[in-house]
Each structure stands twice: as structure tokens, then as C-alpha cells.
Amino acid sequence: MRICCAYAVKAPTGLSWPGILQNYQKRTEEISTWLKNEITDSDVTFVNKIVSAETTDEELLEITQFDGVLVFLLAHGTGIGQRLVSKMRHGLIIDDPFGGSGDLIRISGIIHKEKYPVQTVGTQDMEALLHKIRVYLAVPRIAGSRILVFKNFEKMTPVKEAEMVRSIGTGSTMKRYRAGKAGFDETVRQIKDTFSIDVVMKDLKALKQYMSGADEEKAKQYAEKWTANAEKVVEPSSSDILAAAKMYLALTEAKKETHADVVSIDCILMFFAYDMGVYPCLSFFEMNNNGEIGICEGDLDSAISSLIIQKISGRPGFVSDPFVDTEKNQITYAHCVASAKPFGPKTSPYPYRIRTHSEDESSAAVQVMLPAGYPVTTIKISAANKAMSIHSGESIGNIDTASGCRTKLVAKIPSSRILLNNWHNELFSWHRVTVYGDYRNDFMDIAQYFNLKVYEEDKENCN
């Protein structure tokens, strides 16, 4: 991705803020060298542009066509920030200390009033500035991403549909099913419109073709690795685990062919209604351990949430169906898949057990014993409503019960009642996506870059 670094300067005069002795060329070279030394990512190219009050609107418009824009205000009174702020799809405006301070104050008020997808920063702490820039660079990475989802749209028999409703209710899975292809296409359009993310769809027939072509020996190697590294295998047979390994290879091949960054399967529906036969829990377990992203249930909003989490933190998100304990100010994040490496792919794994998928005691899933004593941040995107929910907590342990999904991470939260009152199920449904670490401010920055309304669901005055 090509990032434009626009340096706002002016000719020094007898009266000039930040001072008549300011050497703009030298300062531009210092910042440019610092950026290139600190941000060595192979996918980033910085392109320098010198701008001033004399720069034309056409020249400014060219700047906004880059994948991203960093505006460094080296001088006061250029008006560059004010002219650019309404033109940028997303951007970061930086007050080089005492350079553009007056302009930055004016610009920040405009951004807040007009809700532009732009952030401002002024700091003498270069590490803090570097962090803000790295968060900003996540935006074009998210925007250039692709999600592969496996779904079927054939109608169930009335008997099966009635049983599905009895089993799981009329929540998000059934809503997506009843919306059909038209509803899916509208969701894809909304995602493209809000995030510039592409969604590619394949059906169960294609998935089974990929699985039939999976290498038997490679599948055995993965099955043996998962089994050997597990604390124990509880219910699944070796054939269940081998089938899960073939699915992993199938999804890896499909992901490669479609150049996807995220893969998801509408698994509950496909398993029950269309006889998929294998759950993808171990596939997603493997992906989320090695720095890729695998998402349950064809949940595209959770896929986007996990993509944001990974691009910001380098860590996996944990998609879950939460249980809120109203009497202990606790929340339990529960699902049948989780990464054993919550701090990222290069860290040591936590213990896990290979289990069946809990609701129907079928196929193979995973129960991870996630660590206690760490801050956690939980978000959920609603592409249709251009919104993000967010809350924070602290991990305090795991629950090992037969009820609910296999992995159950417990977190302490400030107030269960406030969280429940602010859940906004009509916007964000049941799923939430949790990451280890305090990334609240970073995620809220990302929300502003994509012009999302933020619902701080653990705050008293959440709208």
C-alpha cells in the first residue's frame, strides 16, 4: 500500500510560527527517515509530498487517492488540514510539536462537528506517535481485505425448518437463512460500501470438492499433531479428527485460490440442514493459532470484527455466545472453538482438549483453557448499521461444564446490569469478539476512520 506523507510548510517571514529559524526541509527529512526506520513493513511505501497554502485543490485531491494519508503540520496557518479534512476517505493529521498547533485545534473541532473519518494527534512522545500511525495503517489493510464464506441457500423442508427453530430459535442464523440470497447480497453490498472489503461466496458442493481433493497423508499429520498436543481427547474418534483435518486442508486451499484473508462457514445451518458432516472448529482452531482468521457460522460482522482485531493487535479474536452473570458482575464468553495462542502465533500455546461440538455432540471441536489475570477487550461490528459495540473486562478463569459451548472464558466487568441494558441485540445480535489486551482506544480510533457509531456498552450513558 502507498501512503502519502504530506508535509505542510510555508516560507518563513519576520513573524512565523513555530519560528523564523524553522528549517522545514531538514524537519521533513528527519521525519521521513524516522518513519522508514521504524515502519519497515514490506507492504508499506511512503511517498513524500510538500504542500502549502499555494497548493491547488487538484493537487490536494491527488493526495487523497493514495491508500492512506499522513498529514504533518510543520507550520501554522497553511490551511492544509482544513482543506484536506473533508476530502479524505480516512486520514491522520499530526501536529509536529509547536508547528501546526493552532491549526490542529481548529481542525479537531471541525472533525468532531462534521464526524469526518479522520483522527488528529499531537505529542512529543515519538513512541506514542508511532503507535497512532501503526493503528492508522491498519485501516488500508482492513479495507483491502477479502472474506470467503461457504453458504447454501436451498430451502429446508418444513419439518427441518421447524426443528431448526425449535433447536436454536429465530436469532441470527435463522434470520440469515430467511433473508436468502437477496439478503446476503445486500449484506455484501453494505460491507463493501462501509469497509471496502470484498466477500466471496462458495457453496457446500464446492467445499466437499475441496475436501475430496485433500491429501490423506497431510491430513493424518494434522490429526496426529492436534491429538498429540492436546491435554486429552474426550469424545471424538480418530476418524472425526481426521475428517476435521481434511476440512482444514480444504479450507486452506479454497482460501489460497480466492486470495481470502478470512474464511467462514455457515456451519450450524450447513451441518443441520444440508448434511455437511464435519464441523470446522478444529480448522478454525489451527488457523487462529497460526495468524490466520477462521470464523464460525458465516457471521460476516464477526469476521470483520476479527479482522480489525488482528490488524491492530496481531492476536486472534475469540467469537463467542456470551452468558452474563447478573449477580457477580461477570461475563462468560463461550464457543466451541478458540485459539490456544491468545497472545499471537509466536507465543506458547495454552492447554486444550479435543471435544465434540457441544449442542449436538457431533464431529470434533476444541476446549481451550484460556489464561486468567489479563485485560480483555470485546467488540462487534454491525456493517448494516455502520456501528461498533465495545466493552472491557479482565479474564479471571474458565468454566468446565457440560452446558453451553466447550470453551468458556470468564471475565470480570464493571456492571452486568449496565452491559445487559446496553446490549443492542437488534444491531449486534448475540455474538461478540474478544481479544486479550486493552485495545479500547485503538478500536475506537478504527471506528472513527470507518465512520462507525460507537456503543460503549459498559458505560452508563451508552446510546
> Which pLDDT does position 160 carry in this prediction?
84
Q: In this model, does residue 246 exceed pLDDT 70? A: yes
Three cell numbers written together for 187: 449484506
Rounded CA separation 359/122 (Å):
51
Q: Specify the residue for cell string 499555494.
A: 54
Rounded CA separation 231/152 (Å):
35
* Mean pLDDT of the region 211-216: 95
Three cell numbers written together for 232: 486429552
Q: In this model, does residue 16 exceed pLDDT 80? A: no
Q: In this model, does residue 15 exceed pLDDT 80? A: no
> Which pLDDT does position 404 carry in this prediction?
77
* Mean pLDDT of the region 220-232: 97
Q: Specify the residue for cell string 473541532.
A: 109
Residue 169 DSSP one-character state? T
Give 295-327 pLDDT, tens digit per residue.
Answer: 999 999 999 999 999 999 999 999 999 999 999
Biggest CA pair distance of the chain: 85
Cα 149–Cα 153–Cα 156 angle in degrees, nearest 5: 130
* Mean pLDDT of the region 47-52: 95
Three cell numbers written together for 2: 502507498
Nearest to 93 by CA among 108, 76, 78: 108
> Which pLDDT does position 270 carry in this prediction?
85
Q: Which amino acid is at 129?
A: L
**Does 18 sit behind a cis peptide bond, omega within 30 degrees of 0 on the bond before it?**
yes
Q: In this model, does residue 214 exceed pLDDT 90? A: yes
Q: In this model, does residue 276 exceed pLDDT 80? A: yes
Report the DSSP beta bridge partners of residue 388. 381, 454
> Which pLDDT does position 168 carry in this prediction?
77
Is the distance from CB of 46 to CB of 35 less than 8 angstroms?
yes
Is the distance from CB of 427 to CB of 421 less than 8 angstroms?
no
Nearest to 138 by CA among 119, 111, 160, 155: 119
Q: How far apart are the first and last CA of the chain?
A: 36
Query: What is 362-374 written as a DSSP string?
Result: EEEEEEE-PPSS-
Helix H or strand E segment including 8:
strand 2-8
Handedness of CA 137, 142, 146, 150 (dihedral sign): positive
Nearest to 260 by CA among 150, 383, 387: 150
Q: Specify the residue for cell string 494434522.
A: 222
Radius of gyration of the chain (CA): 24
Three cell numbers written together for 109: 473541532
* Mean pLDDT of the region 123-147: 96
> Which pLDDT does position 157 carry in this prediction?
84
pTM for this model (two decimals): 0.95
Is the distance from CB of 7 to CB of 25 less than 8 angstroms?
no
Q: In this model, does residue 14 exceed pLDDT 70? A: no
Three cell numbers written together for 266: 455457515
Is the distance from CB of 138 to CB of 312 less than 8 angstroms?
yes
Set out the domains of the chain in order of their start, with CATH numbers. Answer: 2-143 (3.40.50), 146-456 (3.20.14)
Q: In this model, does residue 92 exceed pLDDT 90? A: yes
Strand order in the sheet with 293-295: 198-202, 146-150, 262-265, 293-295
* Mean pLDDT of the region 411-419: 96
Q: In this model, does residue 103 exceed pLDDT 90? A: no
Rounded CA separation 372/56 (Å):
56
* Mean pLDDT of the region 94-98: 92
> Which pLDDT does position 361 carry in this prediction?
78
Rounded CA separation 27/408 (Å):
52
Give 255-269 pLDDT, tens digit per residue.
Answer: 999 999 999 999 888
Q: What are the contacts of 167-173 at 24+ separation with CB within 8 A?
A: 167/272, 167/359, 168/268, 168/359, 171/429, 171/430, 172/297, 172/299, 172/429, 172/430, 172/431, 173/266, 173/268, 173/269, 173/297
Give 359-405 pLDDT, tens digit per residue.
Answer: 887 899 999 999 999 999 999 999 999 999 999 999 999 999 888 78
* Mean pLDDT of the region 202-227: 96
Give 55-91 pLDDT, tens digit per residue.
Answer: 999 999 999 999 999 999 999 888 899 999 999 999 9
The chain-wide mean pLDDT, for the chain, equals 93
Give 37-49 pLDDT, tens digit per residue.
Answer: 999 999 999 999 9
Alpha helices in 196-339 (DSSP H): 204-212, 216-229, 238-258, 267-274, 281-289, 300-313
* Residue 49: CA count within 13 A, CB half-sphere: 22
Rounded CA separation 441/463 (Å):
18
Percent of the chain with pLDDT over 90: 80
